[in-house]
Amino acid sequence: TRTPLMAGNWKMNLNHLEAIAHVQKLAFALTDKDYDACEVAVLVPFTDLRSVQTLVDGDKLKIKYGAQDISAHDSGAYTGEISGLMLSKLKCSYVAVGHSERRQYHAEDDEVCNAKVKAAFKHGVTPILCVGEGLDIRKAGQQVEYTLAQLDGGLKDVPAEQAESIVIAYEPVWAIGTGEVATPEDAQEVCGAIRGRLAELYSQELADKVRIQYGGSVKSGNVAAIMAQPDVDGALVGGAALDADEFVKIVRFRD
């Protein structure tokens, strides 16, 4: 059985002081019961990582944290980039790779995402590979083929020993930040297909281990129905994760 991963993607929100206050609020609210039921993580801006690490380490918090992007390179003349070495030094558990906003605004293609997935594994940071179709693809009924092609590209030449710990986030672009949440059936259709492809690429045993999240306008009011789907193992939450009380309600989706 897969432990659900409930992760907040803060995107470009919350400076390091706000980050500390926010994580303190989460830590105050979350109990051992919550951490037994789910893994809880926040993906924060690079400038927040050190502050969050200091807080989590100092207070021995069970909340996990990570970054929203990673360089494909380890070090060197790559102005503005942050490497997996740097993220692992800050004890990041996770890093988002290929979020649709990176693909859209920074022209990240599957080849770049594949290099970033490999860079994350190389440094012991678990990648959360984000995949999902835009509205035109959805309207054409091509969401499964399109999303599986992104999955194939992101996982190219990634060995099973690494792939078994990856997290896949299915985030239909038309549902991100729009209030337009996919129906639970929409989410299950693609998440189920992702697990099927993992079984083809690797093995059923591996596919059964991998956590597949849904992301796109997740809120406390819709999370339970989505999490009830057999192939949905967590949520990647944008806007609603910026409100600590709301995010805690999302973590408690079973209540």
Could you give the angle at the alpha carbon of 231 between the alpha carbons of 158 and 207, nearest 5°? Answer: 30
Selected catalytic residue, list 99, 108, 133, 189: 99
Q: Cα-atom radius of gyration of the chain, to the nearest Å? A: 17
Minimal CB distance to ligand 13P: which residue? 238
Binding span for ligand 13P by CB under 6 A among 32-40, 116-124, 144-152, 235-243: 235-243
Distances (CA, A) of 34 to 99, 137, 152, 239, 254: 27, 37, 34, 21, 10
Report the distance separating Cα 43 and Cα 34, nearest Å: 19
Total residues contacting ligand 13P by CB under 6 A comes to 14
171 a catalytic residue: yes
Confirm or reject binding of residue 67 to ligand 13P (CB under 6 A).
no
95 touches ligand 13P (CB under 6 A): no
- The least CB distance from residue 8 to ligand 13P, in Å, is 8
Nearer to ligand 13P, 72 or 167 (CB): 167
* Active-site residue, 123 included: no
* CA gap 64, 57 in Å, rounded: 10
DSSP string of 76-128, one letter each residue: SS-TT---HHHHHHTT--EEEES-HHHHHHS---HHHHHHHHHHHHHTT-EEE
Q: Per CB under 6 A, which region of 73-81, 159-167, 210-218, 226-234 contacts ligand 13P?
A: 210-218
Q: Taking CB under 6 A as the rule, does residue 217 contact ligand 13P?
A: yes
Which residues are known to be catalytic? 99, 171
Q: Which residues bind ligand 13P (CB under 6 A)?
A: 9, 99, 171, 176-177, 215-218, 236-240
